[in-house]
Structure 1
Amino acid sequence: MSEFLPEIVVVAAIIRDRENRLCLSRRPEHKHQGGLWEFPGGKVEEGEPLEQALARELDEELGMQGARSRPFMTVRHRYPDLRVTLHFREVTAYTGEPHGREGQPVEWVPLQELSSRQFPAANQP
């Protein structure tokens, strides 16, 4: 059996509102880790700076424009079928109200309720 696994680089947003709740979205059922909650974001394109990738993904997924962000944490995780490097970035500014542009549920979740949500394993830290 080959040890080669596909590898992807992902950027994910830590977005807080004025009440310190976090913005989460639910992955579509047909995607890898479908049905689980996640911090919004997506794949980084070859050569794309992380802040630019996150701004693009937040516009595409949530209708947020001009997102600015700073590094928060990087996690490397190996699933049975995939290796992922997940760059979490804290969003410091944006315009627009986050909403599911791809039909996905989007919710503002209080910090104390995060543990009641099911996340992909790479999001656990």
Structure 2
Amino acid sequence: MSTKEVHVAVGVVINNGQIFLTKRLDNVHQGGKWEFPGGKVEHGESVYGALYRELQEEIAIDTLSCIPLIKISHDYGDKCVLLDVYIVNNYQGEPQAQEGQEEGWYALEELQALDFPKANDAIVEAVISWFKENRVE
């Protein structure tokens, strides 16, 4: 590992068979790439607590419940991340990017054409599998 691992809570926000994504601002790590919303788990905070807080801050929704999807550890060389990923299909509010970034709802078949950070490749595959297993359309 190149540096200390950053623990991140990630939400795959779904509605009517679509997934809500935001685009990372150009001036941040992996800037200009699409991502599933979420953020850093703070010291002493649970992953669910971090997910709830980050989704409130980033996209203005209240997570009512979520389903664990996958955990991914990835080393970018300049940064290591541990992604704790959850399907968020029970929430209040309408997701809307709060930090000036692009946003959008995407169909499952559109995901593989988007430019994600490398660590997100496994998330995309897990989301596709989850949709198929749960017959989400």
Q: TM-score range by the shorter chain?
A: over 0.9
Work out the CA distance in 1 between the residues paired with 2:63 and 2:108: 25
Tell me which of 14, 20, 40 is aligned to 1:16: 14
Q: Any stretches of 5+ residues in structure 1 without a counterpart?
A: none
Aligned to 2:37: 40
The normalised TM-score by structure 2 is: 0.85
Tell me which of 80, 87, 92 is aligned to 1:90: 87
Q: Any stretches of 5+ residues in structure 2 without a counterpart?
A: 123-137
Q: What per-residue deviation string (whole Å, max 9, x for no partner) do you get for residues 48-74 of structure 1?
A: 111111010000010102442121100
Task: Describe the shift of the 1:66–1:4 C-alpha distance in structure 2 as closer, same or farther (beyond 3 A).
Answer: closer
The normalised TM-score by structure 1 is: 0.92
Q: 1 or 2, which has the higher helix percentage? A: 2
Q: Does 1:26 align with 2:23?
A: yes
SS for the counterpart of 2:91 is strand
Post-superposition offset of 1:80:
1.2
1:1-125 → structure 2 map (5 Å cutoff): 4-18=2-16, 20-125=17-122
Post-superposition offset of 1:104:
1.0
Pairs aligned (count): 122
Post-superposition offset of 1:98:
0.4
